[in-house]
Homo-oligomer: A and B are copies of this chain.
Amino acid sequence: MSTKTDHRHDDMTLDELVDALRRDGSRVTTARRAVLEEFLHCREQHPSVEELAERIHRRYPDIHLSTVYRNLGRLEEAGVLARVRVGDGPASYHLSTDVHDHAVCERCGVVLHLPPQVMAELAELLDVELGFVLSPSHVTLRGACDSCRRRQPTLKTK
């Protein structure tokens, strides 16, 4: 499960994230801090809720799964996190400062992070042709990654 092109958000600090929470009018609790810390520590990944809860549970054994769910929700509303649905499985989250789109290989399951200019071009096209304003970091493309397509060049139509 490798990942390509990771970028930015190295400047994010816990305090900044916590402030965003406060600005949202939400309370700052141990559980919420724990969630945020997890995102700062596991940079670059898209942890699923389950993964996240498990990791948090190691350090704070009585933070319950449902609390993690609730907090991810609140953090999303506060604009701190973004929810992504990569494939059919459970949802995952990432810091919304770390904006990127995804391309999933349907053969090997690798998740590529798309460099911004690729989607920028698409966004331009959608805007001009349909008046549609593309939301950042909510796109998940599917297809065959470079190595898989080389390995077995013809794409199934079955």
Contacts and interface: CB of A to CB of B under 8 A. Distances in A.
A103 B132 contact: yes
A155 to B, nearest CB: 6
Contacts of A149: 131-133
Contacts of A78: 158
Nearest to A119: B122
Contacts of A103: 126, 130, 132
A142 B135 contact: yes
Number of chain copies forming the complex? 2
A76 to B, nearest CB: 9
Given A78-B158, A121-B121, A133 B144 contact: yes
A15 to B, nearest CB: 19
Interface in A140-158: 140-146, 149-150, 155, 157-158
B155 A144 contact: no
Given A79-B158, A158-B78, A134 B138 contact: no
Contacts of A158: 77-79
